[in-house]
Structure 1
């Protein structure tokens, strides 16, 4: 893979900044990739999807928190939580405790709720094909933020005017700009996060019952649009069989999402070496606004699969997808909070690769062809009927065997710029996907393996394991 091309694409992402769903920056990236597809001589298809867009305030006066007349630093706004308008909301700070806050205690006030970014058993959520190399304990702000957000509808029903979530277990630098959570519907309850000294100050002020003003003047735009673009390269021997290569276009920084770099490079390779099977390249929109593109359990690719069964479902007059590749978060390096100093920054290592293979057969193929972050075999993760992170999940739910990279660094959803990508690692990962795609193109369909039916019993067992991992203090 051409290093100069990689650097140019990363520079473009840096210049664009966050590509939040449906934003002008997001549209420019989609146009850029569509142009790259067109330059390869393939037909570019486009799906225009409507939704209601919530825009993060950019002016300081539109995102602020004042407690007893003193300004308090906001780490981030809760995406799609709500809007206060320019006038903001005022009220007494009311501290609510416990995992199920009694929201009625903050009626006509501003609720203050602790959110702890504690380590959880990642192995309970993400399996490993190698029982001797399971995932251990990890902390990621997305998980506690999502769980905390589940209560905002009840807060609205209880007459709360606004919510301040106070981070614990995460530095102020790490918490700054975190665009979390991103999977919940519009909640009509303005909420923000504070961290570090600001969290200490807000919690203490709430204990004293001081008054506060919260301004989250987010613009809400009905009838906004986003675009999914995709292109297909026709197979020469088995065109009725397809391989889906997928990523998403909306993102927060240079790691989330840079998958288009791999997508276009693989498309360039396939055009130069015509495939036996038809290969479909999909740049899906809506990953950061999942409720706008699917009403069920899924990701942005769920919408494309629902809209285009002719490319994968295998019914009469339809092509059949034999496998897929999910290309996300390429070259991600590791950032951590230092437990001794509290400083947040790079560790000098690659972030542990979360690389899924949905069948034992594909796991063996990964062992043969993947060259990733570390020497030797890569830990290969196993999905379950409830959770497969990333855009490979919709393929798994449709029982399309897939291999998907979805490394999950702590800054993944941060709007703060950073040196998040190792170019050499990115190149090795894309080259690994290239080898995998070439092998998948020629192997018999039966050699991809089969995903078992997602029965209620399998889902219940998966949920039980996840819950046990959350409550087990040993994280086994």
Structure 2
């Protein structure tokens, strides 16, 4: 439902700053969005289905499916940017040690126990130290990429995953954060722990954010923000399987608490952990002679966890935790392109960045590469003189790279270090991830949880914070200091509100807190950034259909439109306006 500018200001609770912003922007800042420059919703959706059907349902970092998707993105960006005078680059990270599970089971004697999913990167290990990154020699040039040396059996070693562990089960209680479990009590045995989604979600409570407003299909501020417990809370405080390895535990069973069986199925979490060898893998490497390979660890549903605690733990029942996986050194690439603006190559040129990542366990996480080249196509169809700023479109690898790329679970820091010339001229960034999501939630009826669609669009998180404030207010639950709520960059906030008006979407706009996703690295170095990042319950769930049945084609299309509108406004704004809160 389209609404007028007057109604927008009233409904959003915006002050005169919204109108003031429009007055100080250049006269053509409110140029209308040109719908004909974007493909239709059906055309975009056909691309989503094509990727899911032919390069899926998963595209884990460095897998054949992921490599095919990266090549597809490169081809699309090349076809779009080259005719407009742009350039496309592929930066290859050589010898990435990819971990891939092939089978997993749990049994107690002759009894098969259902498994919800496996704990990523828990078995085996890699001891190599990463080679230094080398910056690109010039503005429009690729960086060198980074790599680990191939394993030579002396300084760099792949520790083959051990598939199975058998022993009696010890119930070690509730995991509430690193150090909360005495793993030594299960040395030489199988450990069982409960992992509460609600407890871990509360370690980063909604109060660390300032809620700037909500939007729901044409109406502003008609609902409250919605922060249900989610399985991805485990990436904030992941179970410390490395400490279990160090203590001599043979294997680990983790019981989800507080989510339904359907929700628990296939969860690829926590995906940010390194190899759970002892010491844990890192970019600094470790001494092969003093590194112990990680141990098999499996997730079970709450129902199965109850069965294990009541009928198996503490009894003389041999339990086998089986997780067959391989570690193979492969190559994986980040693809990015430049679309020249009116001042490209001149000292006064400025850059806008639109970025995402390319790897993930389903078509939700990540489909924004498809959004990315559609956004690029819109701007490439404009005359160069109508792009005051040059643009970068980037799909990074390594979001699921278990600590071998960038830092903090995001690959963007690598690209930033490799391209100081671009970063020095960058005045704004828009990060896009996970488009088109419908809302699925756990609904309790009586004593039973049911995982089902609510009939609504997902309330997506949009993060717009002031980088200057965020630098001084950073914290993490693991450090014992929580992030603080804080202000939003006023220009970016107004740009997003104006762009979302009338869209088929549902969002909450946040500031302060933690700037999650691939935009966090740009935000952290002071680039004014909008993070458009829906986070559904099924974000990291492996499913036979790649979770495409939980997406909506019109919603996907409208989120691409909102992205384009934000970037149009960012093109028209001056650098001083974009950094107005700093």
Q: TM-score normalised by the shorter chain: which range applies?
A: 0.7 to 0.9
Matched, 1:420 2:550: yes
Whether the 8 Å contact between 1:334 and 1:346 is mirrored in structure 2 is: yes
**Residue number among 121, 124, 131 corresponding to 2:207 in the alignment:** 124
After superposition, the Cα gap between the structure-2 partners of 1:35 and 1:105, relative to the gap in structure 1 and judged at 3 Å, is same
How far has the Cα of 1:266 moved from its partner?
1.2
CA shift in 2, pair 1:374/1:31, >3 Å: closer
User: Which SS does the other structure have where 2:376 is aligned?
Assistant: helix
CA pair 68-248 structure 1, distance change in 2 beyond 3 A: same
1:429 and 2:559 matched:
yes
**Aligned residue pairs, count:** 436
Alignment partner of 1:198 is 2:287: no
Structure 1: which 5+ runs fail to align?
Answer: 315-319, 453-476
**Where in structure 2 are the equivalents of 1:139-288 lying within 5 Å?**
139-144=229-234, 147-149=237-239, 151-187=240-276, 188-204=294-310, 205-221=312-328, 223-237=329-343, 240-273=349-382, 274=384, 275-288=387-400
Per-residue deviation, residues 75-107 of structure 1 (Å, max 9, x unmatched): 111111115857611111111014311111101
CA contact (8 A) 1:22 1:225 kept: yes
Normalised TM-score (structure 2): 0.71
Distance 1:46 1:333, change over 3 A: same
Report how far residue 339 of structure 1 moved.
1.1
Q: Which residue of 1 aligns with 2:410?
A: 299
Counterpart check, 1:388 vs 2:388: no
Aligned counterparts, 1:40-55, within 5 A = 40=80, 41=82, 42-50=86-94, 51-55=96-100
Q: Deviation of residue 199 (structure 1)? A: 2.0
CA contact (8 A) 1:247 1:284 kept: yes
1:145 and 1:243 map into 2 onto residues whose CA distance is 29
Alignment pair present for 1:4 and 2:4 = no
DSSP-derived class of the 1:217 partner: strand
Do residues 439 (structure 1) and 569 (structure 2) align? yes
2:184 is matched with 104
Alignment RMSD: 2.2
Shift of 1:374: 6.1
How far is the alpha carbon of 1:303 from its aligned partner?
1.1
The whole-number CA distance in structure 2 between the counterparts of 1:144 and 1:251 is: 17
Out of 218, 228, 234, the residue aligned to residue 138 of structure 1 is 228
Q: CA deviation at 1:146?
A: 5.2
Segment of structure 1 superposing worse, 340-349 or 119-128: 119-128
Against the structure 1 CA distance between its residues 381 and 238, is the aligned structure 2 distance closer, same or farther, given a 3 Å change threshold? farther
Return the offset for 1:124: 2.8
Per-residue deviation, 1:156: 1.1
Shift of 1:8: 1.4
- 2:412 match: secondary structure: helix
In the alignment, is residue 346 of structure 1 matched against residue 453 of structure 2?
yes
* Equivalent residues in 2 for 1:50-129, closer than 5 Å: 50=94, 51-57=96-102, 62-83=103-124, 88-98=164-174, 99=176, 100-118=180-198, 120=202, 122-129=205-212
1-side partners of 2:324 and 2:243: how far apart?
Answer: 22
2:370 alignment partner, SS class: helix
- Which has the higher mean CA deviation after the structures are superposed, 104-113 or 344-353? 344-353
Q: Which residue of 2 aligns with 1:368?
A: 498
Give the Cα separation in 2 of the matches to 1:380 and 1:372. Answer: 16
Q: Are the equivalent residues in 2 in contact too, given 1:127–1:134 (CA < 8 A)?
A: no
Match of 2:67 in 1: 27
Cα deviation digits, residues 192-222 of structure 1 (max 9, x gap) = 100043222222211435220111111011x
CA distance in 2, matches of 1:290, 1:159: 22
Match of 2:9 in 1: none
Larger radius of gyration: 2
The CA deviation at 1:309 is: 1.3
